[in-house]
Amino acid sequence: MRKFPEPISNLVAAFARLPGVGPKTALRYVFYLLSQPTFDLEVMARALTQLTERIKTCPHCFTFTEQAPCEICQDPKRNASLLCVVEEARDISTIEATGIYQGLYHVLGGTLNPIEGITQDTIRYRQLRQRIESHSNITEIILALSPTTHGETTILFLQKSLAPLGRSMTRLARGLPLGATLEFADEVTLADALKGRKSL
């Protein structure tokens, strides 16, 4: 790749860090932005700055929110006896779109993948266990992880390690195909999976 002015090179490097974006795609993004009006670029820059200024992590469920705790954790109408464990914060909006689930959430922040250094210490397993131990009103833990190899490994780990706490554990029904992620599941499939969850 030929040498570009430093501001272009820096932004290409920043875009290339995004998932699924290689150097050529990053360069295409930068040249597109260079063709846009300054006002549009300033709006985008402000939006990026607001991510760090206004978005925080909920201390209870670990989703991203403007207020802490988040709206779901604060809602007295939610069923506090149900705790749905998801991989990432974006999975919450996917489940909420079904309109079926009315309980609370816990964001693990990933799934177990020892090859890449993701262990029980790097996901929010400790916080999950502490939450369950300190809230006796939690009667069912729904393991809503994607049915991938790493998701299945994490489900088995959670099933075994949380079993001594004596709570009912369920998982999403097999309405989701193996290898799929919650992010791309349609609402109907996900709603069926939630309705048909089964005990472990």
Question: pLDDT averaged over consecutive 10-residue blocks of the chain (200 residues)?
Answer: 86 94 95 95 95 94 94 96 96 94 96 90 95 96 91 94 95 75 78 78
Question: In sequence order, what are the beta bridge partners of 113?
Answer: 118
Give the separation between CA 118 and CA 112, rounded to whole angstroms: 5
The token duo for 48 is 């990026």
For residue 186, the model assigns a pLDDT of: 76
For residue 1, the model assigns a pLDDT of: 55
Give the separation between CA 96 and CA 92, rounded to whole angstroms: 6
- Model pTM? 0.80
For residue 68, the model assigns a pLDDT of: 87
Structural domains of the chain, with CATH: 6-54 (1.10.8.420), 64-199 (3.40.1360.10)
Give the separation between CA 163 and CA 157, rounded to whole angstroms: 10
Give the separation between CA 190 and CA 182, rounded to whole angstroms: 8
For residue 185, the model assigns a pLDDT of: 79
Q: Assign residue 28 a region: left if phi > 0, alpha if psi is -120 to 50, beta otherwise?
A: alpha
For residue 191, the model assigns a pLDDT of: 80
For residue 175, the model assigns a pLDDT of: 67
Peptide bond into 37 cis (omega under 30): no
Give the relative orientation of helices 23-34 and 6-16 as an angle to the nearest 10 degrees: 130
For residue 3, the model assigns a pLDDT of: 84
